Amino acid sequence: MIEDLKKDAEVRMTKSVESLGGAFNKIRTGRAHPSLLDGVTVSYYGVDTPLNQVGNVNVLDARTLSISVWEKNLVPEVEKAIMKSDLGLNPVTTGELIRVPMPPLTEETRKGFIKQAKTEAENARIAIRNIRRDVLSDVKELLKEKEISEDDERKAQDNIQKITDKYIQQVDQLLSVKEVDLMEI
């Protein structure tokens, strides 16, 4: 019973950390990375379709992405979608190839992105703590129904706290890596 609760907590906390990684991928650094455009959708015959499903996104050099669209008539749509995204990118089209240069980050934008990363990390920590609270309330419910002893409850609380600490430490590590990445010139 308690083992099932711990496994469920671990699965949910892992998902919170993975979600944080996805959020960090959307925060652009000075380097070009294909995952930067993961959130961009293109109107493809009236349906919003992810950019990576209408063309190939590649890295040309450290500061430039290239997109080769599979259907030539979609090139203007892809350009519009990138400009409308809140990434601050201006694509340049040369025939069927779209180049997306990464503008250098100013000190002010770096600090803004770090602030955004810290907010995302705090949201992940809150999610992990909420999971801990839910699991601990389930354990207390088991104690109240006399399905476990008080000793079992204390052990479960300690184990769940250790699991929580482990995942919060992962969030902190991801945040410090992202901060270093953002401050890199």
pLDDT tens track for 150-171? 888 899 999 999 999 999 999 9
Mind listing the pLDDT tens digit for each residue in 105-144? 788 888 888 999 999 999 999 999 999 999 999 989 988 8
Tokens at 67, concatenated: 């997109």
Mind listing the pLDDT tens digit for each residue in 32-78? 778 778 778 888 888 888 888 888 888 888 788 888 888 888 888 88
Final residue before a domain boundary, out of 70, 86, 101: 101
Residue tagged 């997306």 (tokens): 100
Is the pLDDT at 185 greater than 70? The verdict is no
Tell which residue, 170, 181, 179, 161, has the closest CA to residue 62: 181
| 181 close to 62: Cβ distance less than 8 angstroms | no
Tokens at 157, concatenated: 């609380």
Structurally, the chain folds into a number of domains equal to 2
Verify that 78 and 137 share a domain, yes or no. no
Predicted local distance difference test score (pLDDT) of residue 92: 87
User: Where in the sequence is the domain holding 67, given as residue range(s)?
Assistant: 34-101
Predicted local distance difference test score (pLDDT) of residue 132: 94
> What's 74's domain CATH number?
3.30.1360.40
